[in-house]
């Protein structure tokens, strides 16, 4: 096996994607503000909205993913449910998305390595 193909395969298992799923109450003004603040915090931390209450983020390594998980824990609102899952880049590449009746390809993966 060529070294470059081995390196690519190993990176597909080392690079991580974080998914944050949440269901936050929005009955009161305070709850709506907390839910909106949580979404804004995720965006500031480099997450992208995949669906209304599902955000994703590319992480160059497991260690980087752990840092972002720690940040999410510090941003949690007082009430509601927040779930975080991690998947490898290889697993992420197997996601099938449908919009309407036709599938669309996933956006191209970031080429730049994360330095922090």
Q: What is the pLDDT of residue 62?
A: 92
Cβ-based neighbour number of residue 12 at 10 Å: 15
pLDDT tens by residue, the chain, 116 residues: 455 555 445 566 689 999 999 999 999 999 999 999 999 999 999 999 999 999 999 999 999 999 999 999 999 999 999 999 999 999 999 998 887 776 667 777 666 555 55
Sign, Cα dihedral of 58, 69, 85, 15: positive
Q: What is the pLDDT of residue 115?
A: 57
Q: What is the pLDDT of residue 24?
A: 97
pTM: 0.76
* Radius of gyration of the chain from its Cα atoms, rounded to whole angstroms: 16
3 state SS of 110: coil
Q: Domains of the chain: which residue ranges?
A: 3-103
Q: What is the pLDDT of residue 99?
A: 75
Nearest CA to 11 out of 115, 95, 97, 113 is that of 113
Q: Which CATH number fits domain 3-103: 3.40.190.10, 3.30.70.240, 1.20.140.10, 3.90.480.20?
A: 3.30.70.240
Beta carbons of 72 and 85 less than 8 angstroms apart: no
Which secondary-structure segment (H or E) carries 33? helix 29-44
Q: What is the pLDDT of residue 96?
A: 87
Q: What is the pLDDT of residue 1?
A: 47
């Amino acid at each position: 096996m060529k070294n470059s193909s081995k390196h690519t395969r190993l990176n597909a298992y080392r690079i991580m994607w974080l998914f944050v799923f949440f269901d936050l109450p929005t009955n009161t003004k305070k709850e709506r503000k907390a839910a909106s603040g949580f979404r804004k915090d995720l965006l500031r931390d480099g997450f992208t909205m995949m669906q209304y209450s599902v955000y994703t983020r590319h992480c160059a390594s497991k260690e980087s993913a752990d840092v972002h998980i720690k940040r999410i824990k510090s941003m949690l609102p007082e009430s509601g449910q927040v779930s975080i899952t991690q998947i490898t880049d290889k697993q992420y590449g197997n996601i099938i998305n449908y919009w309407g009746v036709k599938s669309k390809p996933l956006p191209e993966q970031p080429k730049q390595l994360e330095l922090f």
